[in-house]
């Protein structure tokens, strides 16, 4: 696959203690020892036993990446789930709770003004993602045109509704603008990282995002369900279709490019976390 700039070879998975816990094996270790002349195995006992030892070590190293047997989306999901706190995702979350948006949603004290800031910045992010995908002729991105997961138009309808209710719609904050610019830059120079954000943004919204929408609506919107949380068609089918496309696209990547994509998950949480925090502002 040809990129306009080389993918950074630095794999901080192997430097970052939070991520090295996952013990991702590095691809060169995958290679099995080659036996040039199999007859040596029976003729020379010393050679034979050293090959057995080498083979056993290679078997151990052949450990798969977490989720790998199910496809690359499962690898991305594995890394993402461990970046949740226990309070966000009790079954799989592992991160220590620090930021306000990492506390249980049930204990949040949202404001309509803060929620509007979150919706406006979210719209900017979806406008950016969907614009990049829509205009692209690059196969990795063009694959994701019209998946049915698009959110920008839905958010536009919701913001119109808030306006009709008399609320002033704010301008995007610096947080949203910064993320939008970051996504544009990545889309040009680093497709695996861009795809990491694409996955996390759409799949987070379909999971924790929907739960957040319900709780916030209970507290400040008299239970009104916004269009942002409605999909045309069966959501699980739409998600499955996108999972298959993501697995297909990542199937063209080297192991280094896959690791580079997984490594970007932390940034995705950082940017999306800052936007979520606006709900509490
Ligand atoms: C208050 C914040 C958040 C809460 C409460 C939350 C909660 C959850 C929950 C409950 C799940 C479902 C786990 C399951 O399958 O049983 C989930 C999945 C997920 N979350 Fe979050 N999350 C939050 C923030 C984020 C953020 C900031 C990101 C990344 C940008 C993210 C990415 C994901 C992804 C990729 C999945 C997997 C979805 C799937 O399996 O299809 N989440 N989250």
Q: Is the CB of 162 under 6 A from ligand 1?
A: no
Tell me how far apart the alpha carbons of residues 172 and 194 are, in angstroms, rounded to a whole number.
21
Phi first, then psi: give them for residue 26, nearest 5 degrees.
-90, 140
268 lines ligand 1 (CB under 6 A): yes
Segment 30-62, tens digit of pLDDT: 222 222 232 333 334 343 445 455 556 665 566
User: How far is CA 228 from its chain centroid?
Assistant: 19
Indicate which atom in ligand 1 lies nearest the CA of residue 90: 10
Q: Say what the pTM is.
A: 0.82
Q: Is 208 in the pocket of ligand 1 (CB under 6 A)?
A: yes
Residue-wise pLDDT for 130-143, tens only, equals: 999 999 999 999 99
Average pLDDT, the chain: 84
Is 207's C-beta closer than 6 angstroms to any atom of ligand 1?
Answer: yes
| Ligand 1 center to 46 CA (angstroms) | 53
Integer Cα distance of 267 and 35 in angstroms: 43
Question: What tokens appear for 6 in the block?
Answer: 């080389």
């Amino acid at each position: 696959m040809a990129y306009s700039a080389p993918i950074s070879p630095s794999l901080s998975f192997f430097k970052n203690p939070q991520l090295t816990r996952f013990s991702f094996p590095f691809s060169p270790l995958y290679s099995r020892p080659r036996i040039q002349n199999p007859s040596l195995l029976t003729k020379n006992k010393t050679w034979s036993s050293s090959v057995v030892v080498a083979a056993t070590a290679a078997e151990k190293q052949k450990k798969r990446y977490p989720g790998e047997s199910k496809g690359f989306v499962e690898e991305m999901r594995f890394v993402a789930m461990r970046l949740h706190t226990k309070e966000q995702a009790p079954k799989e979350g592992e991160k220590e709770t620090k930021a306000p948006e990492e506390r249980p949603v049930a204990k949040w004290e949202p404001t309509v003004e803060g929620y509007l800031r979150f919706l406006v910045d979210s719209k900017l992010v979806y406008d950016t993602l969907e614009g990049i995908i829509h205009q692209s002729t690059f196969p990795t991105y063009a694959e994701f045109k019209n998946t049915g997961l698009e959110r920008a138009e839905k958010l536009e309808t919701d913001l119109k509704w808030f306006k009709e209710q008399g609320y002033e719609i704010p301008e995007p904050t610096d947080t949203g603008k910064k993320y939008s610019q970051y996504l544009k830059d990545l889309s040009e120079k680093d497709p695996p990282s861009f795809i990491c954000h694409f996955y996390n943004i759409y799949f987070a919204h379909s999971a924790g995002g929907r739960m957040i929408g319900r709780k916030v609506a209970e507290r400040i919107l008299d239970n009104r369900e916004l269009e942002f949380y409605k999909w045309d068609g069966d959501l699980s089918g739409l998600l499955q279709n996108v999972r298959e496309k993501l697995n297909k696209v990542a199937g063209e990547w080297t192991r280094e490019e896959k690791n580079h994509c997984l490594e970007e998950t932390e940034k995705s949480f950082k940017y999306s976390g800052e936007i979520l925090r606006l709900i509490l502002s």
